[in-house]
Structure 1
């Protein structure tokens, strides 16, 4: 005579839950590239529509007035974006600026790329350093630590000073996690 074990309802629930999750993940992975491509195509279409709406004269580039009408910050940063200084922002110049300001790079350098873009974005006079006036209220956490970051006390934060400060912050966080 074979003795039958009593059924464990919790075990059945766990097995069914695991199977449901596994099948859901498989379906999600199968749809992911298509969803990403569709989202990217939609974003590009929206970007093209915004560009066309901003390019009032239809010449394929934005002049200073068109850029300012499109977005105030675009007008404020016109000279920085207009890399060849021809008085017009082309799609290529806009892409290049987005590349500089993008949060990402590859291989885990996302924050480094973001911080480099942030630094470039705040350096209004393009001298390679950020003064208190340039910083203004753009980055409150940097502003409140300005004196600590500006190690040489010259009233400007250089890229090297900024990197050293960020490294010290990282080291402090890592030391805190180790405790």
Structure 2
């Protein structure tokens, strides 16, 4: 689970202006904790480092498929795939199910009023913290109020989980195409010498927020980050 989240966060960094970090979400703390375990920045987690995470330490032997005493990125990614619906995609608890918190009357549906109240609360928080960096408009959450009629297929003026899931699924190709476009745009801007890969110097200059994660992302250990290493691995 952790690696999928890390990859998603990485793409969000590309999408943000100036390659800012992904917005703080449920995903960010988990990805950050995984990275923090790699205290020596060698791109893997050994038993000593894993001891800081009881859950990871408990499953260490099961995850260490090559029995080298270290958890590599692909081993952790394999663990992510094994968690099924516990992921945080469109069908997971961090996707549309996170919208359940907006259902203030507990009827299992979202009304325009509930969405308007949630929007007002977000705007109030933003006003109270003006120093906090604003989200990239493209990376922000979909405007469910603006899309309300499109999502509300049965015209009952309420949005159900099924309607939201269907709408998000229908929008996926468009979202992924836009995310890919922004990924390519940011990668090209950072690739100063145009060789199709990013050196530490290029990352330090153009993507400072990835600098401390360089070894973790550099799966083949060649000292460069290519598109495949930075592109999210879809476990869907």
Q: Do they superpose with TM above 0.5?
A: no
Rg comparison, structure with higher value = 1
State TM-score, norm by structure 2.
Answer: 0.31
Which structure has more helix as a fraction of its residues? 1
State TM-score, norm by structure 1.
Answer: 0.39
